[in-house]
């Protein structure tokens, strides 16, 4: 009996070690997906390479290893072998992942060429025209259709696309300023848009006598103007891996004076979390921002500037506020959906005041860069086919009609949209 009990204990320890190794490997998969946005192809290659290298090393050295070492290595390899199942079942939504795989298998043929617009279908054209008749709004976004990342603009959703910037550097992250008359954006020195390589915030007017004239506003990146047009909130990297959030008084700027203030002291948000891409609430009393750390990956946080706890959501990017300041929205990086939570709570904005989905990703598509407009009904965001990169198009979502309409059709990469609504006459629909 003692021999059988000891044998069972050994096998139990081996099974526990294998499951622990599987959990560690699955967590590594999750961190790789959150940090690098790795798709399943890249993760499968990395998984196969690790498994093959470990098995090859074990076969080559097994004669020189002690029995305990051989058992430990086999448990570790078994954990790596089980890691994909743990990754999907424990850390992801299996139904969503199955839909992703089906969408990848359904898509055949090479991706479309880049650098030219694509004519929409009749149904898509009717939907866009109906949207433009009912929604008087301007749209600004970043695109590579000129061969470089530049800022593009439409005065109305069906009007001609105008290239606002023509710099040889990467221009990105546009936002509307006061009453839609100004557009602030980031100009990165490096083409990969790394803030550590240097970045500055610029302003350009899309219309009027000085249309197209650019001028530098501040050193930083990811600007976002307050609802009243007085403040410009943006990010800075004080040192490698350390970020901060700042606020600039635009009324003083227009009088040729710069008054800047740091908004997030390290006592409220640790600098190692690298707070960035801030969004001020409409009343300027709260702030939402992105967080990124080695352990958490990408996350969204928000807090009241007058005091109160920091609330966070993991696996999220791109926070924005509802126009009434009551909710914070973000893009779920794991499922590609748009979520929102109440300002004073931390979880699904449905019944009971908890966080909930505002919009699911269309079948076979992923959602990114979602941002609430100045009207409570409308969102702008980018969509792209599952598995493809740098092939995004823009869409507008009406929360009341629960309908999303694509407004750009091309083989380029359109992303980071901002929508400024001047008037609404009816719900979106064909």
Residues in CB range of 284: below 8 A, 6 or more apart: 226, 227, 228, 230, 231, 305
Tokens of 316: 């999220």
CA distance 313 to 335: 14
- How high is the pLDDT of residue 346? 41
- How high is the pLDDT of residue 118? 62
- How high is the pLDDT of residue 27? 63
SS3 percent helix, strand, coil of the chain, rounded to 5, is 30, 35, 35
Q: Which of 275, 284, 187 is nearest to 229 (CA)?
A: 284
The enclosing H or E element of 97 equals: helix 94-106
CA distance 77 to 165: 52
Q: Which of 40, 81, 24 is nearest to 58 (CA)?
A: 81
Residue-level pLDDT, tens digit, the chain, 430 residues: 456 666 666 666 666 666 666 666 666 665 555 444 445 556 677 777 777 777 777 777 777 777 777 777 777 777 677 766 666 555 555 555 555 555 445 444 444 444 455 666 777 788 888 888 889 999 999 998 888 889 999 999 888 888 999 888 889 999 998 888 899 999 998 766 776 668 899 999 888 777 778 888 888 899 999 988 888 999 887 765 567 888 888 887 655 556 667 766 554 565 556 678 899 999 988 899 888 765 556 888 888 888 778 888 888 888 999 998 889 999 887 767 888 888 875 443 333 346 788 887 776 678 888 999 999 999 999 988 765 666 788 999 988 888 888 888 766 788 999 999 999 886 444 4
As a dihedral over the C-alpha atoms of residue 258, residue 153, residue 113, residue 131, rounded to 10 degrees, the angle is: 140
Read off the DSSP letter of residue 155.
S
The answer to whether the predicted template modeling score (pTM) of the entire model surpasses 0.85 is no
φ, ψ of residue 3 to 5 degrees: the values are -65, -40
Residue with tokens 């061969």: 147
């Amino acid at each position: 009996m003692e021999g059988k009990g000891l044998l069972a204990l050994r096998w139990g320890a081996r099974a526990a070690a294998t499951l622990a190794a599987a959990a560690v490997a699955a967590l590594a998969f999750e961190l790789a997906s959150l940090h690098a946005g790795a798709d399943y192809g890249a993760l499968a290659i990395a998984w196969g390479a690790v498994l093959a290298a470990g098995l090859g090393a074990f076969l080559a050295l097994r004669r020189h290893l002690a029995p305990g070492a051989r058992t430990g290595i086999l448990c570790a390899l078994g954990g790596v072998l089980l890691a994909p199942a743990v990754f999907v079942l424990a850390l992801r939504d299996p139904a969503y992942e199955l839909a992703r795989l089906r969408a990848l298998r359904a898509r055949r043929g090479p991706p479309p060429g880049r650098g030219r617009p694509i004519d929409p279908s009749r149904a898509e054209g009717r939907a866009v025209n109906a949207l433009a008749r009912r929604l008087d709004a301007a749209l600004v976004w970043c695109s590579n259709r000129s061969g470089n990342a530049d800022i593009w603009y439409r005065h109305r959703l069906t009007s001609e696309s105008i290239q606002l910037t023509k710099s040889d550097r990467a221009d990105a992250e546009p936002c509307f300023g006061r009453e839609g008359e100004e557009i602030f954006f980031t100009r990165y020195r490096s083409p990969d848009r790394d803030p550590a390589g240097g970045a500055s915030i610029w302003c350009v007017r899309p219309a009027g006598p000085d249309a197209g004239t650019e001028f530098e506003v501040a050193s930083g990146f990811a600007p976002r103007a307050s609802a009243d047009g007085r403040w410009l909130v943006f990010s800075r990297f004080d040192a490698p891996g350390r970020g901060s959030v700042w606020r600039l008084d635009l009324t003083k700027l227009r009088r040729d004076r710069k008054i800047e203030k740091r908004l997030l002291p390290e006592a409220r948000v640790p600098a190692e979390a690298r707070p960035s891409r801030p969004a001020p609430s409409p009343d300027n009393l709260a702030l939402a921002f992105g967080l990124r750390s080695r352990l958490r990956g990408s996350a969204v946080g928000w807090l009241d500037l007058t005091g109160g706890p920091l609330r966070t959501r993991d696996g999220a990017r791109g926070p924005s506020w509802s126009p009434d300041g009551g909710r914070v929205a973000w893009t779920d990086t794991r499922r590609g959906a748009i979520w929102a939570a109440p300002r004073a709570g931390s979880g699904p904005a449905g019944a009971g005041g908890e966080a909930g989905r505002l919009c699911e990703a269309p079948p076979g598509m992923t959602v990114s860069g979602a941002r609430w407009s100045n009207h409570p009904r409308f969102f702008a965001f980018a969509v792209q086919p599952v598995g493809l990169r740098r092939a995004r198009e823009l869409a507008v979502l009406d929360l009341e009609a629960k309908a999303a309409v694509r407004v750009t059709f091309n083989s380029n990469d359109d992303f980071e949209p901002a929508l400024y609504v001047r008037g609404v006459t009816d719900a979106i629909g064909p």
